[in-house]
Amino acid sequence: MTTEPRLFVEASLHAGASFALVPAQAHYLGTVLRRGAGDRVLLFNGRDGEWHARLTELRRERATVAVDAVLRPQAEEETDVWLAFALLKRDATDLVVQKATELGATALLPVLTARTNAGRVNEARLAAIAIEATEQSERLTVPRIHPPQPLATLLDAWPADRRLFAALERVPDAAPLRPFHGKAGLLIGPEGGFAPVELDALRNHPLVTVVTLGPRILRAETACLAGLTLLQAPGSG
């Protein structure tokens, strides 16, 4: 049984639609997967659901598709969790974006803190990583990736209808992170932890709940993934 390739596209999807794929997708289908005209693909755009389509042309860097029938209608995500994380070095940030997408995060918000060990990101690179992870994990929507912002800016603009769980280390009064079914955010700090002034801002923010991920000190990228898993686990919250 041959698995149909699954691709994210910007074009509108409906029965009878026909359009060209981007050159990178044509190269992937023809050179990497050895597909040809007449073969089937799956397409999604984050708006119109997932559709069966047929390759009508495939040569070198050019491919066109004809959309046939809907496979899955667009639906809301089962959970709505934003991940805010202190910006990491490139490889670690790439890993967080990839795995957080697979785990269902609906938005990714890199944060600049007093102890952040990176200062910039390649937004196009991160978007490509998120798209590839969305294709692989069979999600219908690609998470939105925000540009990096200072922690104070994040807290000032945090929406009133979304609870923010801040995972802190070595805080005796922090409660364990438990499943939460509603609009939520998870904040993971830098490897060196939050600075004292940042800790005060988190504790005094009306929408922030200070939590712990357990007794061990985790690397930041591990904490991101563990926190997302705990927050979305089955159970009451």
User: 230, 212 in Cβ contact below 8 A?
Assistant: no
Q: Give the confidence band of 116 by pLDDT, cuts at 50, 70, 90.
A: confident
Provide the pLDDT confidence category of residue 173 given band limits of 50, 70 and 90. confident
Q: Residues 131-146: pLDDT tens digits?
A: 999 999 999 999 999 9
Given this model, what pLDDT does residue 224 score?
96
Cα–Cα distance measured from residue 209 to residue 192, given in angstroms and rounded to the nearest whole number: 20
**pTM for the whole structure:** 0.89
Determine contact, residues 66/41, Cβ cutoff 8 Å: no
State pLDDT tens for residues 195-230: 999 999 999 999 999 999 988 888 999 999 999 999
Q: Choose which CATH entry (1.10.3720.10, 3.30.450.20, 2.40.240.20, 3.40.50.620) describes domain 6-72.
A: 2.40.240.20
pLDDT range class, residue 235, cuts 50, 70, 90: low
Q: Which position has the token pair 């009064």? A: 173
pLDDT tens by residue, 74-95: 987 667 999 999 999 999 999 9
pLDDT digits (tens, 9 = 90+) for 22-81: 999 999 999 999 999 999 999 999 999 999 999 999 988 899 999 999 999 998 766 799
The helix (H) or strand (E) run that includes residue 68 is strand 62-72
CATH number for region 80-232: 3.40.1280.10
Tokens standing for residue 225? 């993934």
User: Is the model's pLDDT at 110 over the cut of 70?
Assistant: yes
Cβ pair 46, 8 in contact under 8 A: yes
pLDDT at 191 (0 to 100): 85
pLDDT band at 2 (very low <50, low <70, confident <90, very high): low
SS3 assignment, position 15: coil
Domain ranges of the chain: 6-72, 80-232
